[in-house]
Amino acid sequence: MANPNSVVTRAALSDADAELVAAALLDRAAFAPLYQQYVDPVFRYCLRRLGSRESAEDATSQVFTKVLAGLPGYRAERSSFRSWLFAVSHNVLVDFERARRPQQELDGADLIADPDPGPEDAALATESRREVQLLLASVPPDQRRVLELRLAGLTTAEIAQALGMTPNAVRVSQFRAMTRLRLVMGLAPHRTGGPDA
List C-alpha distances in Å: 100 to 10, 22, 55, 94, 128: 35, 35, 10, 10, 23
Burial 35-74 (b: 16+ CB within 10 A, else e): eebbeebbbebbbbbbebeebbeebbebbbebbeeebeeb
Domain positions in the chain are 1-100, 119-197
Overall pTM surpassing 0.95 (yes/no): no
What is the topology classification, in CATH, of domain 119-197?
Arc Repressor Mutant, subunit A (1.10.10)
Identify the three-state secondary structure at position 154.
coil
**Per-residue pLDDT, 23:** 86
The rounded average pLDDT for each run of 10 residues, N- to C-terminus, in the chain (197 residues) is 42 71 86 92 92 91 92 84 91 85 56 57 65 80 88 89 92 90 73 49
Instruction: Please give the CATH topology (third level) of the domain spanning 1-100.
Output: Rna Polymerase Sigma Factor; Chain: A (1.10.1740)
